[in-house]
Amino acid sequence: MVYVAMGLIQILYVALNSFRLVLMIKGKKLLASCISTVEIFVYITGLALVLHHLETPLGVVVYSASYGIGILIGVYIEQKIALGYITLQVITENEFEMASSLREKGYGVTTWMGNGAAGHRMVHLILAKRKEYHHLQSIIQEIDPKAFIISYEPMRFVGGFWTKKLGAG
């Protein structure tokens, strides 16, 4: 029973740690600080259990293995919450349908003409909430199954469509 408790405590600690790190990177200082308070309490509790049961290697093995499980759970939680934004750069032969269809659905789209090895291509730049990534990707692929999509997370943005949409500009 003690080993189960040690494993669960370590999983909780590492999941909180992973999630707190993501919050810090995303600039959510207050929430990260609150989580760190709970995180350190869980850590001290788990460490006390491990140090009290060092006589068997099983305790150390359980505690160590649960660290990896905690990482997986922390990453899973962060992906489900999906804080922040994602930028998609979509390169397609489709000149007008893609942009107008995405704009009708409420997305800000900036376009320009590019040149590739096979000729002219339309480049679309789209900013969306990370939670909308899979939905947005399916819309793009429905319009053009051969579209080339590059995605990345912007750290900051100023002005433009999103600033107006969020009421900050």
From residue 92, give the alpha-carbon distance in Å to each of 52, 101, 123, 138, 149.
Answer: 62, 14, 7, 15, 9
Average pLDDT over residues 106-134: 91
Residue 1: the pLDDT is 78
Report whether 22 contacts 36 (CB < 8 A): no
- Residue-range domains of the chain with CATH: 2-81 (no CATH), 85-165 (3.30.70.120)
Average pLDDT in the chain = 86
Average pLDDT over residues 38-49: 90
Whole-model pTM: value is 0.68
Sign of dihedral through CA atoms 27, 82, 109, 103?
A: negative
Lowest mean pLDDT among 53-62, 95-104, 123-132, 135-144: 53-62
Average pLDDT over residues 96-110: 90
Is residue 164 pLDDT above 70, yes or no? no
- What is d(CA 87, CA 10) in angstroms, rounded to the nearest whole number? 35
Which is more confidently placed, 129 or 50? 129
- List all residues 6 or more positions away from 121 whose beta carbon is below 8 Å from its beta carbon: 91, 92, 93, 113, 114, 115
- What is d(CA 108, CA 25) in angstroms, rounded to the nearest whole number? 25
